[in-house]
Structure 1
């Protein structure tokens, strides 16, 4: 059930990354479906998520929560690197979820990662500001999460740190078009080269974690690239006008192992 909740929450479109209601909706004589509570990053922010809804209790009680602070002295495991198979994609749809800008990919787009021999297909990517993961306590301007699902319904996320630069960046075609109205959608006209959104050096931090938004379901395989990519300062400023901040603070490691592998 936790894995199913994770998939629904990460892959939901147009619902601000909310999970689907509980089963039972529409069944005669059944109790009304439970609708997940609104959450945010201010008064109803991360410190209060577990108080908003019973489905969010893992946000407080979980022991493998994300994001985390990545230690540069992580154990070196060269064999544990993931394979990233990205290329250009057409039909990218940008959605303002009310919490972030989410880029949804068409089904069967062919982009994927391979984690421990298991392929995970890319479904969407979205942004946080400032970054959610930190490196030795230092964050970056933004962070993008590429969200993947395996055939068995498991979730794997590739996190890429983003550092502001005065120059244009590969994210310009996405962030300059991002819709400002909640639930608004815009389709990017031309192809987007997803490889250009990654750094040239693919050193990878790997660990087991969770969703970084409610319901904070665990069992998510995380890979965070250690080298930031550039994002135009103007694009970051525009994103900030829509979402002043959209990041969950780092969570305790609780004895988890973080490994570092070359790309």
Structure 2
């Protein structure tokens, strides 16, 4: 499937998972043109936060201005092998995973719901994108969300994503079931230094109140894998948003 321009139907449980609603809205948005990010706020009253919000995501991550803190503030990542259904929802390839994996923030568990991809990365480091970015979306018992972002650097050699890429659904609406458990930890860097900040969904309706954790070290994805994903979604990233008066914390784990 080629990039969707001007015709894309929002599913709130897709690139911006929300346990609060599962309705499919007939509001069309995309990553380019008249329905691209700069126009999201005007497409629906429900998307007002995309323009008026003060805690929007993604952001730039400048290491020299982040506030350092102790490793006691690092989140706990407790991932286990999962099965998954891969879905091409018209904006990303999303993997809806089996239960049992979570992160813990200040003693509160957030259960992993799904992960999905963006190309190029949504977050930048000192203004520089990586080739792609992976988002692990979690929810606590109250339905509040926390997202772990993993930057993906294009590099030749081995890649943890090979088996997953062999299953990628390439047409909107296509699905692929993975019944053999795979280890989510393989998709994470060994070093868990992390940026933390308060932010939002990076897709409409741009809801705020999310906890964001972006791992500092990238993982590797091969040039051919990046090219294959670009054939499906030419571009799928929202530009970075102002930090405003938020605090960006860098935690050395």
User: TM-score, structure 1 length as denominator?
Assistant: 0.86
* Runs of 4+, deviation exceeding 3 Å: 15-21
Give SS of 2:28's match: coil
Find the residue that maps to 1:188 and give its secondary structure: strand
Q: 1:82–1:114: 8 Å Cα contact kept in structure 2?
A: yes
2:192 corresponds to: 202
Q: Displacement, 1:173?
A: 1.4
1:180-199 superposed Cα distances (whole Å, 9 cap, x missing partner) = 11111101242211001000
Equivalent residue number for residue 50 of structure 2: 59
**Aligned residue in 2 for 1:97:** 89
| 2:54 aligned counterpart, secondary structure | coil
Question: Does 1:137 pair with 2:130?
Answer: no
Instruction: After TM superposition, give the deviation of residue 20 of structure 1 in Å.
Output: 3.9
Residue in 1 that maps onto 2:231: 241
**Separation in 1, partners of 2:113, 2:161:** 18
Aligned residues: 238
Residue 149 (structure 2) pairs with residue 159 (structure 1): yes
Asked if the contact 2:195/2:215 (under 8 Å) is kept, the reply is yes
- For structure 1, the 5+ residue unaligned runs are 1-7, 22-33
What is the CA distance between 1:176 and its match in structure 2? 2.4
Q: Check conservation: 1:36, 1:55, Cα contact below 8 A.
A: no
How far residue 172 of structure 1 moved from its aligned partner, in angstroms, is: 1.4
Who is 1:75 aligned against? 67
1:18-63 Cα shifts (integer Å, max 9, x gaps):
9644xxxxxxxxxxxx944111001111000011111111100000
Q: Check whether the contact 1:67–1:251 (CA below 8 A) recurs between aligned residues.
A: yes
Which of structures 1 and 2 has the bigger CA Rg? Answer: 1
Provide, for residues 137-172 of structure 1, a one-character-per-residue CA deviation record: whole Å limited to 9, x for no partner. 111000000000001110000000000112231111
The question of 1:256 aligning with 2:251 is answered no
Q: Is the 8 A contact 2:16 2:203 kept in 1?
A: no
2:40 maps to which residue?
49
Residues 64 and 184 of structure 1: CA distance in aligned 2, closer, same or farther (over 3 Å): same
Alpha-carbon distance between aligned partners in 2 of 1:97 and 1:16, rounded to the nearest angstrom: 11
Q: Secondary structure at the match of 2:51?
A: helix
Supply the RMSD in Å over aligned alpha carbons: 1.8
Aligned positions of 1:175-194 closer than 5 A: 175-194=165-184
Q: Give the aligned partner of residue 116 of structure 2.
A: 126
Structure 2 spans left out of the alignment, 5+ residues? 1-10
